[in-house]
Amino acid sequence: MEWNDTALVLQTGQFREADLWVRLFSQSRGVFTAFAFGGSRSRRRFCGCLDVFNVLSCRCKTTAYGKYVNLEEAVLLRAPQRLRTDWLRMGLAVNCARFAEALGIGSDSAAGAYAVFIDLLRLLEEPAPLPVLLPLFFRLRMASEIGFAPALHQCAACGKAVQGAALFLVNEGLVRCEECGGGSSPYAVPLPAAGLALLQAVQQQSPTVWGRYALSLPIAERRACARAIDGFVQYHLGIAWEEGRFRKV
Ligand SMILES: [Zn+2]
């Protein structure tokens, strides 16, 4: 089978002298690996455009047994500028790419998840400062996009809209207001009002507007948000960040 797609390059690697594997994130198929035979050399077929975070128009072909995908041809649509010279931003983008790969995004949620990643790259191209919690924002937003959205707006016990501080129950992926409390749940993470408001906003927004959170949030609230998101992602998606890489747990 052969098809055309728009896809973002998440990672590449060499596997023989002239050949590459390319991890692609496509609008229609999510994250998958394709082989680019002659990828290290063939400027005609790949126009030298298989660099990480380039957006490509590509022609793919499933091999005879349907087991592998070959990248037959690629044309460059867009390439990042700032990322190529700013290693801090490149590191953030790579961290988010590894998370998307660990999630294993399939065709069901491909379109929405792809749009989130493209918006993240747009934000990274802007000169404005970035929020410290950017990688965590991305994990929360991406989890929500593929159907694991924590319920952050209503108290799960009394049903009231939660506005002040709250308890986030990592295992249930929901919040309880302060009056209702979390009982003795070992999974309860106390979230200050500002922290909860931030997570509520981030969960629904495009990454392009996250620059507005670059300055806010004292350290205690930052830690609470990080605990809540990390705990949620680990519990529900089985992914933990350990020793510089994502691991399935
Ligand atoms: Zn309540």
* Cα-to-centroid distance, 122 and ligand 1 (Å): 38
User: Residue 242 has what pLDDT?
Assistant: 80
Q: Which of 43-47, 78-82, 173-177, 241-245 has the lowest mean pLDDT?
A: 43-47
pLDDT band at 201 (very low <50, low <70, confident <90, very high): very high
* Cα-to-centroid distance, 166 and ligand 1 (Å): 9
With a cut of 90, say whether residue 217 has pLDDT above it: no
Q: Which long-range contacts (CB under 8 A, 24 or more apart) does 228-231 make?
A: 228/168, 228/170, 228/189, 228/191, 228/195, 228/199, 229/136, 229/139, 229/140, 229/199, 230/136, 230/139, 231/170, 231/187, 231/189
* Cα-to-centroid distance, 195 and ligand 1 (Å): 18
pLDDT band at 17 (very low <50, low <70, confident <90, very high): confident
* Cα-to-centroid distance, 57 and ligand 1 (Å): 50
pLDDT band at 182 (very low <50, low <70, confident <90, very high): confident
Q: Listing from the earlier edge strand, what are the strands of the sheet with 174-177?
A: 151-155, 174-177, 166-169, 188-191
With a cut of 90, say whether residue 21 has pLDDT above it: yes
* Cα-to-centroid distance, 175 and ligand 1 (Å): 9
User: Residue 27 has what pLDDT?
Assistant: 92
SS3 label, residue 45: helix
Confirm if 71 and 36 have CB atoms less than 8 A apart. yes
Write the DSSP assignment of 67-119 as a string of letters: S-EEEEEEEEEE--SHHHH-HHHHHHHHHHHHHHHHHT--GGGHHHHHHHHHH
User: Residue 218 has what pLDDT?
Assistant: 87
Helix boundaries (H) for 156-218: 193-204
With a cut of 80, say whether residue 176 has pLDDT above it: yes
* Cα-to-centroid distance, 173 and ligand 1 (Å): 15
Torsion of CA 38, 44, 48, 53, to 10 degrees: -90
Three-state SS sequence of 106-156: CHHHHHHHHHHHHHHHHHHHCCCCCCCCHHHHHHHHHHHHCCCCCEEEEEC
Domains of the chain: 2-78 (2.40.50.140), 85-248 (1.20.1440)
* Cα-to-centroid distance, 67 and ligand 1 (Å): 51
User: Residue 116 has what pLDDT?
Assistant: 97
Interaxial angle between packed helices 134-145 and 219-237, expressed in degrees from 0 to 180 and rounded to the nearest 10: 40
Rounded-to-5 percentages of helix, strand, coil across the chain: 40, 30, 35
* Cα-to-centroid distance, 177 and ligand 1 (Å): 4
Residues 140-153: pLDDT tens digits?
Answer: 999 999 999 999 99
* Cα-to-centroid distance, 182 and ligand 1 (Å): 10
* Cα-to-centroid distance, 169 and ligand 1 (Å): 13
With a cut of 80, say whether residue 41 has pLDDT above it: no
Q: Over the chain, what is the mean pLDDT? A: 92
* Cα-to-centroid distance, 156 and ligand 1 (Å): 7
* Cα-to-centroid distance, 210 and ligand 1 (Å): 29
* Cα-to-centroid distance, 180 and ligand 1 (Å): 4
With a cut of 80, say whether residue 47 has pLDDT above it: no
With a cut of 90, say whether residue 82 has pLDDT above it: yes
